[in-house]
Amino acid sequence: MVKFTINGKAASVEADPAMPILWVVREKLGLTGTKFGCGVAQCGACTVHLDGQPVRSCSTPIAEAEGKAITTIEGVAGPDGELSKVQQAWVSEQVPQCGYCQSGQIMAATALLRDNPQPSDADIDTAMAGNICRCGTYVRIRAAIKVAAGLEPAKGAELRS
Amino acid sequence: MNDMPQQPQRSRAAKWTRRGFIGAGVLAGGALVIGVGVRTGNPVGRLGPLVAGGEGEQLINSWLKIGADNIVTAIVPHCEMGQGVHSVLAQMLADELDADWSLVRVMQAPADGSYVVTDTIRTFVAPGTLDAPDWLEPTWNGLFTKIAQLADGLITGGSSSIRTTGQRTMRIAGAAARQMLIGAAAREWDVAAAEITTANSMLSHKPSGRSAPYSQFAAAAAEQDMPQTPQMKAPENYRLMGKDVPRIDIPDKVNGAASFGIDAVVPGQTLTYAAVRRVPVPGTRVAKMDAAQAKTMPGVLQILNMGDFLAVVADSYWQAQQALNAVTAEYTAPESTIRSSDDQFARFAAALDAAGDKGGEEVIGRGDVPTAMQAAAKTVSADYQVPYLAHAPLEPMNATVWARDGRCEIWTSTQVPLMARSAAAKALGLSKDDVTMHHPMLGGGFGRRLETDYVVMAARIGQATGYPVKMIWSREEDTQKGLFRCADMSRFTGGLDAQGRLTAYNNVFTQRNDPADACDCAFYDIPNKSIRVAEAELHLPFAAFRSVDHSQQAFFIESFIDEAAQAAGRDPLEFRLAMLGQSPRHKAVLEKAAAMAGWNAKPAAGHGRGIALTESFGTIVAEVVEVDMSSGKPRLTNVWCAADPGFAMNPDGFRNQMEGGIVFGLTAALYGEISLKDGAVEQSNFHDYKLMRMDECPAIAVEIINGDHVRLGGAGEPGLPPAAPALANAIFAATGKRIRALPLAKHFA
């Protein structure tokens, strides 16, 4: 039995201690916003926060979560579902295409902005280089991070002509 | 999906034109439904060749529904894989309908043909005309055949959705519904239809001060005669078309709520999970399997030797994969003698050598190439080659299956839900009516999900288990064992006259798939041309890759044009512009990209700029790439892209697709390589099959030219083709080193 909190709620699961957090979260807790992309910490689609630090959940055993707090994409918005600044920027910049990598991108960007509220382009490169977007939305991810940081105005996702 | 349109209580159908028709009905509760069909052979501009099916086939593409709550639902047949199709098709329909965008919803048309297509449409839209349900199930005859069979309405590819379904059905459905609503209101209010105006899902009659929501006349509208030629808006009256309407699918993609195939649940059932290992070399079989150790591992339920693959089914995917790693196997000897990439390219070279100057199958023959070549003041020759590529969508291949009692239910990410259903039915010996297909969003398609191999594998596993099972490929399987963009080699000789004009053009290559004209840069005025294909055996199975043949042909052609400019001693931009006298739209696009890049200003020391121009899927695109070679390795700084899709229905969505296509193309150009060793793929995961990342991505600027409001081009693919040649040309400009074999980064390792 491994005990931890998931998005602020206490949880305990029967699982092989070596089972990666990814599969516990997806299969045992039914939280499918965290994605499987590569299984070897190469693509970042599975990024979650463990005690606030971004980790690759596909390669982190659930035993490491004992007594700790796991936050997934489902736990990023406020209790009433209000989107975080990062999520809002992802909408205003119309970032996602297929969207499969974007949970991981948002988890990585959220951690970046918490530790470094006004990141430079080089900071963004360093923090985000572990997250692959096969659709190629990097230009918009960069813009959205700057919008969330207040460094650039939101383009605004409303009817524009 | 619970909100499917019910069987209409009353229905009518009418001819719309010789080639198309509209049907309308009213549902329980008074909702109006409109269906639009198009017959094959509809000669709408360039679409004619796309709809080349048998005469008399009737293609039902889309529906709209107006409910009692005044909500307009666009039922979109195409799959959402990131291209924004759900949003933009609804946008087109809503504009013609004068709908209030905040009251518009989108529903994915189900792949359960027994409901929507076979029964409902046959009885409702076109009674008695669709006797053969097989019209829905085309066989694979290339991507364009699939698009032609849009019938299905359930094929998504070829950058086709806006210009086919959007233009020919969503807009028609919206316009027809609006006219019928007006007709119903005119009758009830006893006023002239011409005096009724529509806006924001409301009908108004200003002289009498009356107004009503669409819902009030939805049922009565179904009784109206069909408009024989629905009045479509002229561009100056577009209200939503051409605007940056936000994508409907995005909010759910930032909070984890969006559901992809891999997220499928089987209601009320506990899932099991399958990990799979296909044979390493295509065409071989499992000769021997040893699963003694795997059988004892925790969570393992079944270990299957399926002949062409092995599967372990377990309580969790991780347990299944751990156990599969412990299974050892031996395989039969491959028949193909292609063992390495060198073997593969040697086949290509042999085919080109055998074809010589005139051999192979002619694709384009114009003028008199031998005479023009003889008369040339200078000739230039080059061979180019590209490797195999894996599509690598970030969502690995997967499917969830529950097969029992002669029925099978499937959940999967697919671009071809009806074909996947048929393929699974055939593999299991079932009727396709016994197979139900659920197809949520795709975590990337790029052509890989036009194939049904993985769905069939999951169906076979499901048949063996009898209980619900979710099969997931590892990234290693996805990289090594799927279907691939073909490798290819292309040989050119060009003849330049004394003025440095390209007067003779001789080209032969080995792989031809789709589109048929991808090998011809027809917009350049080159008087004597011979383009031929000399087929050569491919070791790995083929699947259409984003932009298909353009993905390699653009690199071949636009690299060679650059070499011809160099041989002529002319500027690459000026050389191209001089050949565009007959192609004003192409010229405008090329000039625009050059202006954006500041082509005439000298780049910084160590930097170089390259340019390329293509037309694919009806859209003209020019790109300028700037590369910094000062470190000795390519670092991309900027891409400037100008594109003319005719008319961009959603400019921001179009720009997003161009940006994505450019990154996809640059990724392939710089890094993309699937190579062979002992007949098997060498690469396995993202450490050795590298994809572009944030820190390598250049700044990208996109400008749109709306050059033709009638003949629209696509968005999903056309951004890709110019990227590779523009980059290779930029590296040449910076270094003087001409690279003729992709991937580029390998030459600077």
Count how many domains chain B has: 3
Q: Which of B414, B437, B472 lies at the terminal end of a domain, its last residue?
A: B472
Quick one: pLDDT at residue B121? Answer: 29
Is A85-148 a domain of CATH 3.30.420.40? no
- How far off is chain B from A67, nearest CA to CA, in Å? 23
What is the C-alpha to C-alpha distance for residues A154 and A140, in angstroms, rounded to an integer? 11
Give how far Cα B49 sits from Cα of B40, B173, B513, B523, B647, Å: 10, 23, 16, 19, 21
Compute the distance between CA of residue B355 and CA of residue B343 in angstroms, rounded to an integer.
19
| B171 or B293, greater pLDDT | B293
pLDDT of residue B35: 60
Mutation to test the B interface, candidates A38, A98, A132, A152, most B Cβ within 10 Å: A98
- Helices B723-735 and B651-670 meet at what angle, rounded to 10? 60
CB interface of A with B, residues 88-147, below 8 Å: 90-91, 94-103, 106, 124-126, 128-142
Domain ranges of chain A: 2-75, 85-148
Q: Read off the tokens for B375.
A: 């008369």
Q: What is the mean pLDDT of residues B237-261?
A: 96
Alpha carbons B492 and B56: distance in angstroms, whole number:
44
> Which of A38, A72, A88, A147 is the mutation pick for testing B, counting most B CBs within 10 A?
A38
Which phi and psi angles does B479 have, rounded to 5°?
-75, -35
B246 has pLDDT over 50: yes
The answer to which of B143-152, B180-189, B603-612, B685-694 has the lowest mean pLDDT is B143-152
Q: How far apart are CA A154 and CA B703, in angstroms?
A: 20
pLDDT band at B45 (very low <50, low <70, confident <90, very high): very low
- Tokens matching residue B255: 């909070």
Residue B58 has pLDDT above 50, yes or no: no
d(CA B683, CA B674): 6
CB within 8 Å: B394 and A35: yes
Residue type, B350: A
Nearest-by-Cβ selection for A87 from B255, B393, B656: B255
pLDDT tens digit sequence for B515-574: 889 999 999 999 999 999 999 999 999 999 999 999 999 999 999 999 999 999 999 999
For the cut 90, the answer to whether the pLDDT of residue B604 exceeds it is: yes
User: What's the 3-state SS for B89-138?
Assistant: HHHHHHHHHCCCHHHEEEEECCCCCHHHHHHHHHHHCCCCCCCCHHHHCC
Q: What percent of chain B has pLDDT over 90?
A: 74
What digits encode the pLDDT tens for the residues B406-441? 999 999 999 888 889 989 999 999 998 899 999 899
The predicted-structure confidence for B302-347, as pLDDT tens digits, reads as follows 999 999 999 999 999 999 999 999 999 999 999 889 999 999 999 9
Report helix, strand or coil for B732: helix
Residues 646-665 of B with CB under 8 A from A: 652-653, 656-657, 659-664
**Residues on chain B touching A37 (C-beta within 8 angstroms):** 394-396, 475
Across the range B451-464, mean pLDDT stands at: 97
Regarding whether B415 and B376 lie in a shared domain, the answer is no
Residue B435, strand partner residues: B408
**Hey, are the CB atoms on B250 and A139 less than 8 Å from each other?**
no
**Which CATH number do you get for residue B362?**
3.30.365.10
User: DSSP states of B626-649 as a string?
Assistant: EEE-TTSS-EEEEEEEEEE-SS-S
Supply B662's token pair: 């450019």
Q: Within a 10 A sphere around the Cβ of B606, how many other Cβ atoms?
A: 14
Output DSSP code: residue B84. -
> Per residue in B571-580, is it b (16+ CB within 10 Å) or e — as a string?
ebbebbbbbb
pLDDT, tens digit (0-9, with 9 covering 90-100), for B640-665 = 999 999 999 999 999 999 999 999 99
ipTM of this complex: 0.97
Give the structural domain span for B539.
341-389+484-748
Q: Choose the closest CB to A135 out of B82, B240, B685.
A: B82
Q: Please count the other Cβ atoms lying within 10 Å of the Cβ belonging to residue B199.
A: 12
Mean pLDDT of chain B: 87
ω into B515 cis (within 30 of 0)? yes
Pair (B417, B518) in one structural domain: no
Are residue B592 and residue B714 in the same domain, yes or no?
Answer: yes
Is residue B319 within 8 angstroms of chain A, CB to CB? yes
Closest-CA residue of B relative to A161 is B243
What CA–CA distance (Å, rounded) separates B67 from B73? 8
Is residue B448 in some structural domain?
A: yes
Which residues on chain A are in Cβ contact (under 8 Å) with B254? 83, 87, 90-91, 95-96, 102, 106
Residue B250 lies in a domain: no
Q: At what angle do helices A138-148 and A121-128 cross, to 10 degrees?
A: 120
The three-state (H, E, C) secondary structure of B332-377, written as one string? CCCCCCCCCHHHHHHHHHHHHHHHCCCCCEEEEEECCHHHHHHHCC
Instruction: State how far the alpha carbon of A131 is from the alpha carbons of A125, B311, B634, B651, B692, in Å.
Output: 10, 30, 21, 27, 10
> Do the domain assignments include residue B227?
yes
3-state secondary structure of B562: helix
Each residue's pLDDT tens digit, B717-727: 999 999 999 99
Q: Band of the pLDDT at B76, cuts 50, 70, 90?
A: confident
Q: State how beta strands B196-199 and B104-108 pair.
A: unpaired
Q: Give the side-chain half-sphere CA count within 13 A for B375.
A: 13
Q: Specify whether B516 is located in the same domain as B432.
A: no
**Final residue of a structural domain among B243, B277, B303:** B243
Residue B219 has a pLDDT of 81
Give the span between the Cα atoms of A82 and B520, in whole angstroms: 52
CB B412 within 8 A of CB B402: no
Residues B601 and B669 in one domain: yes
User: Within this chain, do residues B614 and B633 fall inside the same structural domain, yes or no?
Assistant: yes
Residue length, chain A? 161
- Spatial distance between the Cα atoms of B153 and B612, rounded to a whole number of angstroms: 34
**Which range, of B106-115, B460-469, B551-560, averages the lowest pLDDT?**
B106-115
Q: Are strands B361-366 and B328-331 parallel, antiparallel or unpaired?
A: unpaired
Residue type, B593: A
Contact B27/B15 with Cβ under 8 angstroms? no
With respect to residue B4, please indicate whether it lies within any of the assigned structural domains: no
**Contact predicate B523/B622, CB 8 Å:** no
Do residues A105 and A44 touch, judged by C-beta distance below 8 A? Answer: yes
The pLDDT value given to residue B183: 94
In this complex, is the C-beta atom of B478 within 8 Å of any C-beta atom belonging to chain A? no
Bridge pairing between strands B528-533 and B502-509: parallel
| Secondary structure E strands in B398-487 | 398-404, 407-412, 435-438, 469-472
pLDDT at B200 over 60: yes
pTM of structure: 0.91
- Reference B121, options B2, B4, B3; nearest CA is B4
pLDDT digits (tens, 9 = 90+) for B21-37: 455 655 555 666 666 55
Q: Are residues B271 and B404 in the same domain?
A: yes
Residue A27 to residue B273, Cβ atoms within 8 A = yes
Count Cβ atoms below 10 Å from residue B257 Cβ, excluding itself. 15
Q: Which of the listed residues B418, B445, B472 is the one where a domain comes to its end?
A: B472
Residue B284 has a pLDDT of 97
B506-518 pLDDT, tens digit per residue, is 999 999 998 889 9
| Cβ proximity of B70 and B31 under 8 Å | no
Chain A residues touching residue B480 (CB < 8 angstroms): none
Q: What superfamily would CATH give domain A2-75?
A: Beta-grasp domain (3.10.20.30)
**Band of the pLDDT at B9, cuts 50, 70, 90?**
very low
Q: Considering only CB atoms, which chain A residues are within 8 Å of B661?
A: 136
* Domain identity same for B113 and B238: yes
Minimal-distance CA residue of chain B relative to A125 = B695
Taking the C-alpha atoms of residue B288 and residue B302, their distance in angstroms, rounded to an integer, is 17
Q: Does the bond joining B743 to the residue before it have cis omega, within 30 degrees of 0?
A: yes
| Ranges of chain A with pLDDT below 70 | 157-161
Rounded mean pLDDT, B708-732: 95
Residue B524 pLDDT: 98
